[in-house]
Amino acid sequence: MASMMRTATTTRASVSRTEAPKNVGFSASMRAPVNAAFKGSCVALRTQTNGSRVVMKAGGDIASGYANALVELAQSANALEAIHTDLDALDSVMSEEVIDFLCNPLMTAERKKEVLKKVCTDGSFSAYTGNFLNVLVDKKRIGLIKEVVSEFDDAYCELTDTQVATVTSAVKLENEQQFLIAKKMQEMTGAKNIKLKPQVDPSLIGGFVVQYGPGGSQLVDLSVKGQIDDIAADLMPEATLA
């Protein structure tokens, strides 16, 4: 049952971490594929002149360029799942304070790499992920890491037919509850995989709210607060008339 729950909730649970080297060596030879992949993806970053205005082509923002480069590298190295798992974990530790430190011009690139190496080692990240982070430091783009992770996640979900759903509940959901929600989401969306992002909001009182689709445009509100709000809305005209 536990195995079924992991599979339904996220594709990462069954991933073998042997898809990419474990040691994070940050060697120049391993940095080269990342740079090459980024250069190959820079087609999306080219600009064209329209009168006196420079127009960026679709998908041409810098974060997308780096994310696309990493996706290309991950696919060629058969490490898409491993790198996606790494970036999910990385995103959770990249607080504003950490980002501020990594963007601090008074900190040397070597010091920033030392901190990132520690993060990679503690998280057992693949060498591809660690090497990519070094490239961002060298290019002075490490401040875009959150945006890069988001762009990579979007590309990953498209490639693997994965639907992301944010589940907000009044209390922390048990694994079995998450499994049942994931199965229901599969039925509703037809997606091959469901990736749940659980969070807690006590103000919901009970139940849960699910947001999914582009920009969280789809909403399923099964919370007690939602039901109370609906009842209040229904009673409002009567109260006004009275």
Instruction: For residue range 53-69, list pLDDT tens digits in order.
Output: 223 333 348 999 999 99
Q: Can you tell me the distance from the alpha carbon of 23 to that of 3, in angstroms, rounded to the nearest whole number?
A: 28
Judged on CB neighbours under 10 Å (0-12, 13-18, 19+), 211 is: middle
Q: Is the CB of residue 101 less than 8 Å from the CB of residue 107?
A: yes
Same domain, 154 and 165: no
**Are residues 115 and 218 both part of a single domain?**
no
Same domain (yes/no): 116, 176? no
Question: Which parts of the chain fold into alpha helices (H)?
Answer: 2-9, 28-41, 62-76, 80-93, 96-103, 109-122, 127-138, 145-160, 175-189, 224-241
200: domain CATH number?
3.30.2320.30
Instruction: Identify the pLDDT of residue 119.
Output: 94
Q: Which of 158, 187, 222 corresponds to the end of one domain?
A: 158
Q: Quote the radius of gyration of the chain (alpha carbons, Å).
A: 22
Domain count, the chain: 2
pLDDT value for 230: 82
Same domain, 167 and 212: yes
153 and 169 together in one domain: no
Residue count (the chain): 242
Three-point CA angle 152, 85, 110, nearest 5°: 80
CB 68 within 8 A of CB 44: yes
Tell me which of 132, 158, 184 is where a domain ends.
158
Residues in contact with 71: Cβ distance below 8 Å, sequence separation at least 6, in sequence order: 80, 152, 155, 156, 159
User: Which parts of 27-94 fold into alpha helices (H)?
Assistant: 28-41, 62-76, 80-93
pLDDT, one tens digit for every residue, the chain (242 residues): 333 333 333 333 332 333 333 333 334 444 444 444 444 443 333 333 333 222 333 334 899 999 999 999 999 999 999 999 999 999 999 999 999 999 999 999 999 999 999 999 999 999 999 999 999 999 999 999 999 999 999 999 999 999 999 999 999 999 999 999 999 999 999 999 999 999 999 999 999 999 998 878 899 998 998 888 888 887 876 545 44
Query: Order of strands, edge to edge, in the sheet holding 193-200?
Result: 193-200, 162-169, 208-212, 218-221
* Whole-number Å distance between alpha carbons of 182 and 194: 6
Whether residue 200 sits in one domain with residue 236: yes
CB atoms within 10 A of CB 9: 22
For 216-231, how does the pLDDT look when each residue is reduced to its tens digit (9 = 90+)?
889 999 899 888 888 8
Q: State the pLDDT at residue 46.
A: 33
Q: Which of 141, 158, 175 is the last residue of a domain?
A: 158
Q: Which two tokens stand for residue 65?
A: 């360029």
Q: What is the pLDDT, as a whole number, of residue 52?
A: 29
Same domain, 112 and 18: yes
Domain that holds residue 65: 2-158
Three-state DSSP class for 225?
helix
